[in-house]
Chains A and B, each alone.
Chain A
Amino acid sequence: MKIAFALSENHHRSYIDDHFGRCNWYGVYDTDTKKAQYLENPNRYAEEGAGCTSVDYLMEYGIQAIVAGRFGSRVVELLKKKNIQMIIPEGTKTMEEIIKLYKN
């Protein structure tokens, strides 16, 4: 499974960003190969629809779940339609901490 993370910085110890559409980086973690890649968010300064454009962008990487602090309402609707799972951690957590919780 590929999981996308909304991140503030481009490394695995970065905190999960509060806002899915406006974060600086996306981390895409593959649970099979245990490798992560980091993508700069091309839509972070977009005036409108940053979240929905980012969903399409991340879909190209074949993600099945997204971890972020909060999702906008339009993004929630879109992700439900595309059957992608949304994960919201309680409090502030790093990408590494979430990955450690993952079990096959």
Chain B
Amino acid sequence: MSPRTKKIRLIQRRPSFAGFRPYGNQKPGACEVALNFEEYEAIKLCDYELLTHSEASAMMNISRPTFTRIYESARRKIAKAFVEGSTICIEGGKSVVNTHWQECQTCKISFSVTEKNPHVCPLCQTPVLEELEIQ
């Protein structure tokens, strides 16, 4: 029997960086820890924005136990990287960016899409053709 399909987790916005690297005595070929986007989001909602697990799970459109599991997994991965001095890459997972963000290449800004002007840069008023990639 195939495993039950994972529900898609909603995240607000991807981080603007790809990960973290320890400095100082770095082991060559130290293994990397892959933190996925929903784990990053769980830490952000819970420990940065100080939401409760149930508020955060509603935000990500998953059940509270699932949220707690993702959060635990995220903490363990971060602890592993912290103790072992590994690099953390933020990648993959099964999530979709909830808010529709677009980028204007001319102004170098991202903006959220509203009903009034969905595909026009709010500053230079140029229509934006390319949509942000959604996985």
Contact = CB atoms under 8 A, between A and B. Distances in A.
Interface stretch (A5-13, A38-46, A54-62, A68-76): A68-76
Interface in A26-48: 48
A84 B114 contact: yes
Contact of B49 (A74, A79, A86, A104): A74
Contact of B124 (A79, A86, A102): A102
B12 A76 contact: yes
Contact of B12 (A73, A84, A90): A73
B111 A86 contact: yes
Contacts of A48: 50
Nearest to A84: B114
Interface residues of B, number: 25
Nearest to A73: B12
A71 to B, nearest CB: 8
B124 A103 contact: yes
A85 B50 contact: no
Contact of A83 (B99, B116, B123): B116
A95 to B, nearest CB: 12
B125 interface: yes
A72 B55 CA distance: 13
Given A72-B49, A88-B109, A80 B124 contact: no
B124 A88 contact: no
B111 A87 contact: yes
Contact of A87 (B49, B99, B109, B117): B109
B123 A73 contact: no
B66 interface: no
A84 B125 CA distance: 16
Interface of A: 48, 65, 72-74, 76-77, 79-80, 83-91, 98, 101-104
